[in-house]
Chain A
Amino acid sequence: EDQVTQSPEALRLQEGESSSLNCSYTVSGLRGLFWYRQDPGKGPEFLFTLYSAGEEKEKERLKATLTKKESFLHITAPKPEDSATYLCAVGSHFGNEKLTFGTGTRLTIIP
């Protein structure tokens, strides 16, 4: 059974204070690792897909990296608008289109 564990559950940072969110996973044949952002009262919004260990992707102040066991979402010089819950999910070659999600990291950026 595919499993995703995210840490920490919650993180409070001062504006401009860089940090990283962790996503550990176990999956039978990784098809892709996905990062989503979720704002309160809204549905998750797609950020990145990573396909193989060593891959990195960037978008504004966010950079996602992938190893064989975990992924990190690095946030550089965050702004208050980066406050959200960040969800990690994995897709398996054996699970068709199914994604298994972690419970997320709730990020708060304090001005």
Chain B
Amino acid sequence: DAGVIQSPRHEVTEMGQEVTLRCKPISGHDYLFWYRQTMMRGLELLIYFNNNVPIDDSGMPEDRFSAKMPNASFSTLKIQPSEPRDSAVYFCASSQAGNAYNEQFFGPGTRLTVL
């Protein structure tokens, strides 16, 4: 398996623009997670899905952020409008149900810079 795939790897945009990050989880995994990593706050969970259904979005910072999972092999994280404080590395991870202590597999991340 190719692992978790994220695109783009790098994104530079201007304040106010819409940004869409994409993720393809590992085939057969039931859970999908979106994280944000910054030097100040470390790795923070934004939202996670189980079988394509959002379960916990309490980490989503505000209404400018939205996430969707239209099918088992694809998810998006959208920021509209983007702000400089959204600059961070965004990771997608997936895991498999049935493993009581789910190991999460992370993608390579998308480095977002908002000017």
Contacts and interface: CB of A to CB of B under 8 A. Distances in A.
Interface residues of B, number: 24
Contact of A96 (B42, B56, B103, B108): B56
A29 interface: no
A101 B106 contact: no
Contacts of A111: none
A97 B95 CA distance: 9
A54 interface: no
A16 interface: no
A7 interface: no
Contacts of A41: 108-109
Given A46-B103, A49-B101, A97 B42 contact: no
A8 B7 CA distance: 33
Given A44-B43, A91-B101, A98 B106 contact: no
Contact of A87 (B43, B103, B108): B43
Interface residues of A, number: 23
A41 B91 CA distance: 11
A104 interface: yes
Interface of A: 31-32, 34, 41-46, 49, 51, 87, 89, 91, 96-104
14 contacts: A41-B109, A42-B109, A43-B93, A43-B108, A43-B109, A44-B43, A44-B91, A49-B101, A91-B101, A97-B50, A97-B55, A98-B56, A101-B43, A103-B42
Interface of B: 4, 31, 33, 41-45, 48, 50, 55-56, 91, 93, 95, 101-109
